[in-house]
Chain A
Amino acid sequence: MEKMTDKIKKATRHTNQNEGLIFEKSSPGKRAFELPPLDVPKVDLAKALGAQHRRDGVEGFPEVSEIEVIRHFTRLSTWNFAIDLGMYPLGSCTMKYNPRVNEFVARLDGIATEHPYQSQELSQGCLKILQLLEKCLLEITGMDCITLQPAAGAQGELTGLLLIRAYLEKQGNARKKVLIPDSAHGTNPATAVIAGYEVQNIKSESHGQIDVDKLRDLVTEDVAALMITNPSTLGIFEERIPEIAEILHAKGALLYMDGANMNALTGVTRPGDLGVDVMHLNLHKTFSTPHGGGGPGAGPVAMKKFLEPFRPVPILVEREAGKLALEQVRPDSIGKVRAFGGNFGVLVRALAYILAYGPGVRQATEDAVLNANYIRKRLEGVYDLPYSLPSMHEVVFSDAKQKRNGVNTMDIAKRLIDYGFHPYTTAFPLIVPGALMIEPTESESKEECDLFIDAMTSIAQEAAATPELVKTAPHTTRVKRLDEVGAARRPVLRWKPASHSKAAD
Chain B
Amino acid sequence: MAYPANYRYTKEHEWVNAKDGVATMGITDYAQHELGDVVFVELPEAGKKLETGKSFGTVESVKAVSEIFAPVSGEVLEANPALKDKPETINSDPHGAAWMVKIKLSNPAELEKLMDNAAYEAYIAAKGKEASA
Contacts and interface: CB of A to CB of B under 8 A. Distances in A.
**A–B touching in complex (CB under 8 Å):** yes
Interface of A: 427, 484-485, 488-489
A488 B88 CA distance: 11
A427 B60 CA distance: 18
Interface of B: 37, 39-40, 60-63, 87-88
A488 B63 CA distance: 10
Nearest to B36: A485
Contacts of B87: 489
A485 B38 CA distance: 8
Contacts of A489: 39-40, 87-88
14 contacts: A427-B63, A484-B62, A485-B37, A485-B39, A485-B61, A485-B62, A488-B39, A488-B40, A488-B60, A488-B62, A489-B39, A489-B40, A489-B87, A489-B88
Contacts of B37: 485
A414 to B, nearest CB: 15
Contacts of A427: 63
**Complex A-B, nearest 9 residue pairs according to Cβ-Cβ distance, in ascending order:** A488-B39, A485-B37, A484-B62, A489-B39, A488-B62, A485-B62, A485-B39, A489-B87, A489-B88
B90 to A, nearest CB: 11
Contacts of A488: 39-40, 60, 62
Contacts of A484: 62
B60 to A, nearest CB: 8
Given A489-B87, A489-B88, 11 more contacts: A427-B63, A484-B62, A485-B37, A485-B61, A485-B62, A488-B39, A488-B40, A488-B60, A488-B62, A489-B39, A489-B40
Nearest to A485: B37
A445 to B, nearest CB: 34
Contacts of A485: 37, 39, 61-62
B81 to A, nearest CB: 16
Contacts of B61: 485
Contacts of B39: 485, 488-489
A488 B62 CA distance: 7
B131 to A, nearest CB: 10
Contacts of B40: 488-489
Contacts of B63: 427
A199 to B, nearest CB: 16
B44 to A, nearest CB: 21
B132 to A, nearest CB: 10
A489 B61 CA distance: 9
Nearest to A410: B63
Contacts of B60: 488
A19 B62 CA distance: 27
B67 to A, nearest CB: 16
A293 B64 CA distance: 24
Contacts of B62: 484-485, 488
A240 to B, nearest CB: 32
A484 B37 CA distance: 10
A488 B60 CA distance: 10
A367 B61 CA distance: 40
B118 to A, nearest CB: 30
Nearest to A403: B132
Nearest to A484: B62
A355 to B, nearest CB: 42
A484 B38 CA distance: 11
Contacts of B88: 489
B36 to A, nearest CB: 8
A471 B40 CA distance: 26
B84 to A, nearest CB: 11
A320 to B, nearest CB: 57
A427 B62 CA distance: 14
Most buried by B among A427, A484, A489: A489
A347 to B, nearest CB: 35
A317 to B, nearest CB: 47
A489 B87 CA distance: 8
Nearest to A404: B132
A130 B74 CA distance: 61
Nearest to B62: A484
Most buried by B among A427, A484, A485: A485
